[in-house]
Structure 1
Amino acid sequence: MVLRVLVIGSGGREHALVWKLAQSPLVKKVFCAPGNGGIAELAECVPIGVTDVNRLLAFAKDQEIDLTVVGPEAALLAGITDAFEAEGLAVFGPNQQAAEIEGSKSFAKDLMARYGIPTGKYRTFTTAAEAKQYVREQGAPIVVKADGLAAGKGVTVARTVEEAELAIERVMNEKVFGEAGNRVVIEEFLSGQEMSLMAFVDRETVRSMVISQDHKPVFDGDQGPNTGGMGAYSPVPQIPSVVVDRAVAEILEPVARAMVREGRPFRGVLYAGLMVTESGPKVIEFNARFGDPETQAVLPRLDSDLAEIMLATVRGKLGDIEIRWKKEAAVCVVMASEGYPGDYRKGVPIRSLPQSRPNCIVFHAGTIKEGDQLVTAGGRVLAVTALGADVGAAQAAAYEAVNQINFDGAHFRRDIAAKALAAEKK
């Protein structure tokens, strides 16, 4: 079988997906809609937006696409999987109802409450006044979340009551995240080590990936506002495998069964953002797709054929295949535009970009080509991933590559994977 594959999306996650799929002997041709400046080196980019479902469907039919892989959550919640499946097209990604596990934080929390899946206590509010009153009753630290999609930026970990009230005001009254802020979820603050646990899911069949750890705050030492993610690394040596096994058994497998029982069977990648607390792993959030930038740290460690895994998932045969992982560690450092996650400039020339090589890959997150010049086109610009014998070696190689890249205002955290190295020293 020789496949024509369409990847939906334009970020670093999609570059990693294209990069891995292009390595498969099953894959003949890769398209990406809309793609970016780096993806264009591996795939034919198509200028169609990720939520323009009708045009994407027409393109897939016209080009006889054998497998469509959906990257961003916006496309899933726009019903792209439902539309493609209605036309008999193979698509990797959950349908609109199943994607609600990410599209509505209140739905996800209610689901966990119904099925006894460990998470922090919470309340959902539709008015700012009631939300603020609850915050004053509970005290701080406390977590404020916009209910809907907010590009990874709708969460505030408030250290004071005043900070929580300001977050509620911005989300619900100022509508900084639009309709996503019609409701807020106020959650218990959980402390411990965070881990990102992704899994291929085919209804009740769950095949977990290697874990990673994301870095959400924009500045070193986990300071500053939350972003979509400033870097990630895998493995996470300070989290023992017994904890990961427990998370699969107590969280991923039960939620997959719960979605089937709810009439929303999940098929695709389920992402669990977890906090490893003193009483065990608890859910911070679920996503209905590959994480970003976790994918850029996890996929380079995949030793199996990604296209084969995706086809098996789509065909209901995930349980029939074995998934292998490399022992090497991976560290991904995100280079962002000055000002991100706030306002930032676009069109800044990128200079001195090193060539990707087997142990170091530069994934493009927000770039475009203007003639022969590569320029910035997003808040997160590049995701530089390096492999090494251990986390320390991978970290050193990643920062060596980052230091070769230059664009005006470039910002990156200098402590990606520092928690792992500190734990190893202990």
Structure 2
Amino acid sequence: MASFEVKGGTKLKGDIYPQGAKNEALQILCAVLLTAEPVVISNVPDIRDVNKLIELLQGLGVTVTRNALDTYTFQADNVNLDYLDTELFVEQGRAIRGSVMIVGPMLARFGKAKMPKPGGDKIGRRRLDTHFIGFEKLGAKFEYSSDESFYGVHADGLKGAYMLLDEASVTGTANILMAAVLAEGTTTIYNAACEPYVQQLCRMLNRMGAKISGVGSNLLVIEGVEKLGGTEHRMLPDMIEIGSFIGLAAMTGSEITIKDCQIAELGLIPDTFRSLGIKMEFRGDDIYIPSQDHYEVETYIDGSILNIADHTWPGLTPDLLSVALVVSTQAKGTVLVHQKMFESRLFFVDKLIDMGAQIILCDPHRATVIGLDNQMPLRGIRMSSPDIRAGVALLIAALSAEGTSIIDNIEQIDRGYQNIDGRLNAIGAQIRRI
């Protein structure tokens, strides 16, 4: 198990490029199973979760060719369905949560799919009911083995249907969407997630020959087609990483330019950090954050305390609440952070409190942060990364702290952030992998 040794208190300076979007990659890579023709995907992040999914696809018989550091060609013209019954598949499928995304494409093209209960972050309940209810409405039969924790679906042929999703699940929407594109007739998905990741998937599928309308809205209409062809696709920059870098710059008083951000796809992320007092400039598609010694939290018109909460798109993504919370610890003012979607994601605040932060954990979903206005810097401690997003939030805290911090279990950070230590060291950070 690896750790980071972080020497804090150093200002960073320079340009940094965000990686390809992790959450988009997990959907896009599974979509290659929908066709026997080659699919070329670029801006693929070199991170643990994505690499494990590529290994799983190779186990299924997908030919994977690496054309460049971030570009691959996938061809699923010889898929081995027997692989689903192997111990290796169980091991690989359980290693990452994104593995559930193979179910929709496999069901659509081959009439059956199975999946062990997937892994991923331990951040609270993350049910999969939305996925399988959607498949059932398309005509699939669902089976679950509680003894083996295995999910299965099969169908002689999928038929289009109307469905109102019980939650606007991003992965649920994407999985059902990939099943529906090859179903007979028309499928209507209401209360669909409309995150940029889902929009990207829709655009890619349409280029492959699918007929999806309503892209960008919560009402998707899919006219089923008989087959899909190959395409080329470039993934967006990772909006979570962009938000993390904005927070890092403010927390460490650094002057950083985040390059090629696709700002139009960031939604409320820039405005959320502006509400914490962070200055930034849009320079074309780059975001420039000047060095700031202080940043002051806005209040509402009536003077009440700022509340930062997650919501379905176009609301703020829950993946950035951990970073917003950490950044608030050194702002001037008070912030209520409300994590609505996951009940275990705020438990990392005990580590920030040990570092000297002033935080009241109100309940599993809410934390009140009293900003220290950089008058009392955080202090370095030894801590462990509980999940991907909390892990990078703790890394930001350590980079701003006085003294040296040790962050254990950094495999969690590596799951979602590509060579994060190398890229930050290149602009002045002092991070050593031990």
TM-score tier by shorter-chain length is under 0.3
Structure 1 length as normaliser, TM-score?
0.26
Kindly indicate whether structure 1 or structure 2 has the higher relative contact order, using CA contacts under 8 Å at least 6 residues apart: 2
Structure 2 length as normaliser, TM-score?
0.26
From the CA coordinates, give the structure whose radius of gyration is larger: 2
Looking at secondary structure, tell me which structure has more strand per residue. 1
